[in-house]
Amino acid sequence: MATKGKPSSGLTKKQKSSTVKAAKKGKDIGKKGKNFDKVAAKAAKKYGSKEAGERVAAAAMWKNKRR
């Protein structure tokens, strides 16, 4: 399912808002047992910076939410 533009495209504003709030609270935001911080830390280790890790985690979060 390849879409152009933002990873969050196709979601309503309400869905985006609730997802962001849950991520900031540290709740599960996609697959069970995987939260944003863990995904970001693993990606940061792989790609070399905290910012890169957060970008990867955010893209994965939106991709899973869209499904």
Q: How many CB atoms lie within 10 A of CB 9?
A: 11
pLDDT in tens, 16-66: 888 888 878 877 666 655 677 888 899 999 999 999 988 888 888 778 777
**Residue 1 pLDDT grade (very low, low, confident, very high; cuts 50, 70, 90):** very low
Burial classification of residue 18, based on how many CB atoms lie within 10 Å of its CB (0-12 exposed, 13-18 middle, 19 or more buried) = middle
Report how far residue 37's alpha carbon sits from residue 30's, in angstroms, rounded to the nearest whole number: 12
Report how far residue 2's alpha carbon sits from residue 41's, in angstroms, rounded to the nearest whole number: 25
